[in-house]
Chains A and B, each alone.
Chain A
Amino acid sequence: MIIKPPPRMAIDHQAVLNEAASRIRRSRTISQAGRRNFLRRSLTLGGIAMLTGCSLVDEASVDTALSRISRINDDVQGWLFNPNRLAPTYPESMITRPFPFNAYYGEDEVREVEESSFRLEVTGMVADKRKWALSELRAMPQIDQVTRHICVEGWSAIGKWGGVPFGNFLRHVGADLSAKYVGFKCADDYYTSIDMATALHPQTVLALTYDGQPLPPKYGFPMKLRMPTKLGYKNPKHIQAIFVTNTYPGGYWEDQGYNWFGGS
């Protein structure tokens, strides 16, 4: 039997959001201390440290070994990724309401982007580097999909996003589809990057709407890259610039230790 998602968000969502915001703020400030603790604690596990092939006193090499395994896991996931396999879709009645807010900052710090002056930058290995107004993106053929968003923290929620299939957009701007990475820079100073295979997946959408309405600021106005084949932190919000490259661009969380591929 599938147990329903915890009802607490529905009961008092403001309190939960406040708590989540403060937790995220706290976790940012302790993240460095947390890393030191993690390394210190790992030293007490002598056998494990030996398994990774490092000397017991060398904290940095434990970290390096784990990061290296994480990059191997990127390759395994790239190999497992089937470009035609679709994530499950759901009826609209199953949409999680309210859809949880999540970012590396609290909901009271959500960035407001001005639509009239907004222009999307497209750079790197693309033929057409002109900037895009939001209205031009809205004029392209759109799709809608109801999919499950899975967070690295474990929870999941179902939402409805609509917009331009990202593969169509990349082809439209003449992107080099043999390039390795597509990177994103966001108005909230977030940044991340994805593999080209996922960028071209039929369910990868440059989302302009949430639940039939223009994307509200908290869900990433003016646009978000929505990928039901990747964890939440891989789905950038408030996208300002898209670039195609062969140079590994990393990401906000990925540079701190989250797995780069981060795919389902």
Chain B
Amino acid sequence: MSSQDPTVHPGWLRTTHWLNAIAVVVLITSGWRIYNATAFLGFSIPKGATLGGWLGGALQWHFAAMWVLAANGLLYLGFNLTTGRLAAKFFPLSPKALLEDLLAAVKGKLAHADPQHYNMVQRLAYLFVMLDSVLLVLSGLVLWKSVQFPILRELLLGYEGARRIHFFAMAALAAFVAVHLVMVALVPRTLLSMVRGR
């Protein structure tokens, strides 16, 4: 191995990761209960998977956890940009390398040998989930305060448009979490490094 610092994830990253995980679990499960109040896509989320018990309780959880998500997300992005980690870990993005990595992944041969280095699929997945989270916050802002943020409201296709964007951005985040957890189960030492840093 190289003589580099063996730290895979610095402390600020691990802290913001786990705070984010808690906030996302609360927001998604309470959000499902809120969705159930008017299940506009024709199906309801099983009650056992939701948080809050009733609509008012779910809203209280949702509007508490949103502060954790937003504040923690700003901290994460701030550290990521100022430490240069964002540029170092996630860029450059190469479509050709992405295709090769995707192909390797399908064949089950995608290398995870160096935990310091993200392959193209990982880079894209993590960048996607960052942008998706920003979209969730912005569309959530429109749902919460549609009159006070008129430009944002019109950009996100009005109240009813933002409502759908918020739902599908949640679905995309939930899909990411599912794949993320499968990958962690396949390569358990990534869990270890997210806990102790190495």
Give A contacts to B, CB under 8 Å.
1-3, 5-6, 27, 30-31, 34-39, 41-42, 45, 47-48, 51-52, 65-67, 69-70, 73, 77, 80-82, 85-88, 148, 150-156, 228-229, 253, 256-259, 263-264
**A152-B55, A264-B146 known; A2 and B160 CB under 8 Å?**
yes
Given contacts A48-B22, A150-B146, 13 further A-B pairs with CB under 8 A are A2-B157, A5-B160, A38-B57, A41-B51, A45-B26, A47-B22, A66-B61, A80-B145, A85-B148, A153-B37, A154-B35, A155-B38, A257-B59
A151 to B51, CA, bound (A): 20
Can you list 15 A-B pairs with a CB-CB distance of less than 8 A?
A: A30-B54, A31-B54, A36-B53, A38-B58, A39-B53, A42-B61, A66-B61, A77-B145, A81-B148, A82-B148, A88-B150, A154-B37, A155-B40, A257-B56, A258-B59
Number of B interface residues in the complex (CB < 8 A): 37
A164 to B17, CA, bound (A): 52
Q: Which of B53, B56, B145 contacts A41 (CB 8 A)?
A: B53
| Chain B hits for A77, CB < 8 A | 145
Measured CB to CB, the closest approach of chain A to B191, in angstroms, equals 16
Interface pair B52/A85, CB less than 8 Å apart: no
Interface pair A66/B38, CB less than 8 Å apart: no
Interface pair B64/A66, CB less than 8 Å apart: yes
Residues 147-162 (chain B) with a chain A CB within 8 angstroms: 147-148, 150, 153, 157-161
Measured CB to CB, the closest approach of chain A to B40, in angstroms, equals 6
Interface pair B68/A3, CB less than 8 Å apart: no
| Chain B hits for A42, CB < 8 A | 51, 61
Measured CB to CB, the closest approach of chain B to A263, in angstroms, equals 7
